[in-house]
Structure 1
């Protein structure tokens, strides 16, 4: 888990995504350690970690999922040196397949407006904006919501 945590923090820091909320570093490190989510990883032939994404089924603590047929994508991160090689696309596709296996009908996520690369990957996979689920967890941190209706 430590390598996954460090990759998340490195990727978010490289993009300046922790500037508005430096305290989020600890939450980013801990996501998935409580057993509520499933962490997927991508690695190269030498087993170097290239990226990670987390599948989190609905629970009463969910951020934007509202019921048991929904799940969330959390902590999507690709190492800066691995970007542009399809790592993010492959991780998102694997997570969508995982959601399908679990019978999830709607996959949701929150993203910062400046996470343009991640949004590109999401839109290319068919995710659409759902502004009615946008939210502000703290002042000056506005999160955009996206969803994908998962089909069999």
Structure 2
């Protein structure tokens, strides 16, 4: 798991996403290590290119509200692997995983400046749900997107 944790930190740091909340680095490192959720990875010849986490609803969920919902967490693509379809492949794999689990709605939070990630989400069919936007810290507002999964 350490390579996944390191990739997350590198990707988020490269985009300045930890500037406003540097302590989030510990959360990035630990997501998925407690047995909650499922970490998916993209590799090429044993080299880690990206990662994303599928987290079914639990009482600790940040934005999912019931057992029919799940969250997308810790989406990160290595800076040198961007623009190669890695992010799209990861999001597609996570949507398929959610479908296999019978989830009807996938939700995610993103920082406003995460434009590349938002592009990937919208291209896959995620739409904004501003009524679920939230602020984990006073100066941080997270935008929420959802994808309704149909059989």
Report the TM-score range of the alignment, normalised by the length of the smaller protein. Answer: over 0.9
CA distance in 1, matches of 2:90, 2:103: 17
Aligned to 2:133: 134
Hey, what does 2:93 align to over in structure 1? 94
Match of 2:23 in 1: 23
- For 1:87 and 1:38, locate their aligned partners in 2 and report how far apart those are by CA, in whole Å: 18
Distance in 2, matches of 1:24 and 1:150, equals 29
SS at 1:32 equivalent: coil
Distance (Å, rounded) in 2 between the aligned partners of 1:81 and 1:12: 13
- Encode CA deviations 1:43-75: one digit per residue, 9 max, x unaligned: 00x210000000000000000000000000000
Tell me the number of residue pairs that the alignment of Structure 1 and Structure 2 aligns: 151
What is the distance in 1 between the residues matched to 2:112 and 2:3? Answer: 26
For residues 36 and 67 of structure 1, what CA distance do their matches in structure 2 show? 16
Aligned partners of 2:20 and 2:41: how far apart in 1?
A: 27
Distance apart, 1:139 and its partner CA: 1.1
Q: Specify the alignment match of 2:106 in structure 1.
A: 107
Q: Which residue number corresponds to residue 151 of structure 1? A: 150
Deviation string 1:72-108 (CA, Å, 9 cap, x unpaired) is 0000000000000000000000000000000000000
Compute the displacement of 1:29 (Å).
0.3
Unaligned runs of 5+ in 2: none
> TM-score scaled to structure 2, two decimals?
0.99
TM-score (normalised: structure 1): 0.99
Runs of 5+ consecutive residues of structure 1 not aligned to the other structure:
none
1:76-91, aligned counterparts within 5 Å? 76-91=75-90
Whether 1:116 and 2:115 are equivalent positions in the alignment is yes
Which secondary structure does the structure 2 equivalent of 1:103 belong to? Answer: coil
Counterpart-to-counterpart distance in 2, 1:21 and 1:141: 8
